Amino acid sequence: MPRYIFITGGVVSSLGKGLASAALGALLQSRGYKVRLRKLDPYLNVDPGTMSPYQHGEVYVTDDGAEADLDLGHYERFTGVSAAQADNITTGRIYSDIISKERRGDYLGATVQVIPHVTNEIKDFVLSDAGDVDFVLCEVGGTVGDIEGLPFFEALRQLRQELPLRQSCYMHVTLMPYIAAAGEMKTKPTQHSVKELRSIGIQPDILLCRADREIDMGDRRKIARFCNVRESSVIQGLDARSIYDVPLAYHTEGLDKEVLMHFGIEDAPKADLSRWEQISETLHNPDGEVTVAVVGKYTVLPDAYKSITEALVHGGIANQVKVKIKWLEAEEFENSDDPNVLKGVHGILVPGGFGERGAEGKIKAATFARTKHVPYFGICFGMQMAVVEAARNMAGIENASSSEFGEGGENIVGLMTEWTKGNERVERTADTDLGGTMRLGAYPARLVEGSKVAEQYGMLDIEERHRHRYEVNIEYKDKLEAAGLLFSGLSPDGVLPEIVEIPGHPWFIGVQYHPELKSRPFEPHPLFAGFVKAALEQSRMV
């Protein structure tokens, strides 16, 4: 039976619970243990699929088609363990399942209540389908004291009593603020957060105290005394130069050692952190620097493109260079006549998005990249806009557009109405609910032999994760290819365009899927590695 580690947060949000969970998972892996990570989100949405990127950041997609919290991206990047639908649950999904059961009569006429019905669903989720692993790490979203999180904390409290002795661990992430006027750090927020947690029956075993400077031993002893934990269980979590320094930093502070000690594991293998040390060395001592412009719709919130950002970092690691990102808001760019906006960048990446806003700006970015021979990488919507640009300016279809933008143009891009998922045919209409109805998850594609993208992958058959509801119309393939745009990747049945490129261009590739979701620091995605390499070559020409 696996051991369970429950990670909660207090004082304020955005303390890095997801990174702490991912880093701890990586540390346990470094000692030879198998891990699985899960996220419990208290919000009422069934999943984050219909939430604004400004509200929630990016939506992470798993191989099996789950739209999940972005923290699952951290889990995958740090551990290499693919997440699944079973690794992210929300209050909305729990209540949806409970109401369905109640309507079917599954509760045999009982009064359905938060306790035991909601808490039982949460516990079933935590314990289900763990697989052959040594540790399951469960992170609870939000902070202690949030009213919507109470059923989750109650479920975790019950699990401590129901699991065998020393089979669970509570880790609480708090904040140690420095008050400049007083010239000292304050322990009171941590004390109050633990007090709140204890009031609902949970005594934390380990405290991870986030701080921007060293926490002296006097403050650690004070926290241990007032929060009823061992002094060695008060771990400082200092700000790091890179998120990929966090596993090394937490190991130095003794986090993994303390967790193993809590579980009574005294003969654990020694941690092998050599690959993390190598990544850290590459990040902090690069051989050069390239600048990549990201022309997006939600650039005011970097978390909206979290996987894109990290995949570019991974591409930099693969090429021993630092990738500097220049964020450009597509809507502002489309209204700008300044020819210097993209001057000096070594690559242009246009990410996914929804709706017409900013579309013309993304098309302008594709035009600039194509005509100025700057490496271009279009992802999902970025590929679609590159095709619209090619249709207008290479194939002479002046009113080329997408049906996503309404009527009035020739729709090179249209709403997907049916596609194949495994052995089944999936159908959609314009009136279908938005939530969970896109083409989601991993799908195969066949690449054209001799193409640029086949060269990048080093193979002809690939499988990548999708999240989209519009698709380039295959009926325009011949006309666009005659104009110089190569459809270098298609679905196995040859119906859905997956990849386009421009032969002879230094690097101009658009993909319908999201390769950033499968990139890892120790295994950069080949397209991001290739794109950054092309940007590096571009920088040497400037």
Task: For residue 12, give the nearest of 199, 157, 146 by alpha carbon.
Answer: 146
Task: For residue 408, give the nearest of 398, 395, 394, 416 by alpha carbon.
Answer: 398
Compute φ and ψ for 262, nearest 5 degrees. Answer: -60, -40
Buried (b) or exposed (e) across 463-478, using 16+ Cβ within 10 A?
A: ebbbbbbbbbbeebbe
Note whether 248 and 273 are within 8 A (CB).
yes
Compute φ and ψ for 368, nearest 5 degrees. Answer: -60, -50
Where does 184-245 have alpha helices with state H? 188-199, 217-227
- 410: annotated active-site residue: no
Distance of CA 280 to the CA centre of its chain: 21
The whole-angstrom separation of Cα 405 and Cα 20 is 41
Count other Cβ atoms within 10 Å, centred on residue 281.
Answer: 10
* The pair of three-digit structure tokens given for residue 540, joined into one six-digit string: 């040497």
Task: For residue 514, give the nearest of 333, 378, 341, 337 by alpha carbon.
Answer: 378
The whole-angstrom separation of Cα 137 and Cα 38 is 6
Note whether 358 and 329 are within 8 A (CB).
yes
Q: Name the active-site residue from 227, 360, 516, 525.
A: 516
pLDDT at 465: 96
Segment 107-135, tens digit of pLDDT: 888 999 999 999 999 999 999 887 899 99
E-only strand ranges, 371-526: 376-379, 400-402, 410-415, 418-421, 424-427, 439-447, 461-468, 470-472, 486-490, 497-501, 508-511
pLDDT at 425: 59
The whole-angstrom separation of Cα 382 and Cα 384 is 5
The whole-angstrom separation of Cα 45 and Cα 96 is 10
* The pair of three-digit structure tokens given for residue 302, joined into one six-digit string: 């970097």
- 138: annotated active-site residue: no
pLDDT at 433: 59
> In the block, which residue shows the tokens 């119906």?
495
Q: Is the pTM above the cut of 0.85? A: yes
The whole-angstrom separation of Cα 452 and Cα 334 is 29
Could you give all domains of the chain from N- to C-terminal order, each with its CATH number? 3-279 (3.40.50.300), 286-541 (3.40.50.880)
Contacts of 410-416 with CB under 8 Å at 24 or more apart are 411/473, 412/387, 412/388, 412/472, 412/473, 412/476, 413/384, 413/387, 413/388, 413/470, 413/471, 413/472, 413/473, 414/470, 414/471, 414/473, 415/469, 415/470, 416/468, 416/469, 416/470, 416/471, 416/496
Note whether 321 and 536 are within 8 A (CB).
yes
* No. of helices (H) and no. of strands (E), the chain: 18, 25
Residues 6+ apart with CB under 8 A from 536: 288, 290, 319, 321, 346
Side-chain-side CA neighbours of 466 within 13 Å: the count stands at 26
Count other Cβ atoms within 10 Å, centred on residue 537.
Answer: 16
Task: For residue 52, give the nearest of 428, 360, 329, 434 by alpha carbon.
Answer: 434
Q: Name the active-site residue from 74, 346, 514, 525.
A: 514
Q: Mean pLDDT in each 10-residue stretch from start to end of the chain (542 residues)?
A: 95 90 98 96 88 83 92 96 93 94 90 94 92 94 93 96 94 95 92 95 96 94 95 95 96 96 93 96 95 91 91 97 94 74 92 85 93 96 95 93 84 75 60 68 95 96 94 94 96 94 96 96 97 94 72
User: Three-state SS for 384?
Assistant: helix
Q: Is 264 left (phi over 0), alpha (psi -120 to 50) or beta?
A: left
- 523: annotated active-site residue: no
**What's the per-residue H, E or C state across 119-150?**
HHHHHHHHHCCCCCCCEEEEEECCCCCCHHHH
pLDDT at 424: 62
Segment 333-346, tens digit of pLDDT: 777 766 678 888 99
Which residues on adjacent β-strands are paired with residue 35?
135
pLDDT at 239: 93
Angle of the 306-319 helix axis to the 526-541 helix axis, nearest 10: 70
pLDDT at 415: 85
Residues 6+ apart with CB under 8 A from 223: 187, 190, 191, 207, 209, 229, 234
Q: Name the active-site residue from 56, 380, 468, 498.
A: 380
* The pair of three-digit structure tokens given for residue 250, joined into one six-digit string: 């937490």
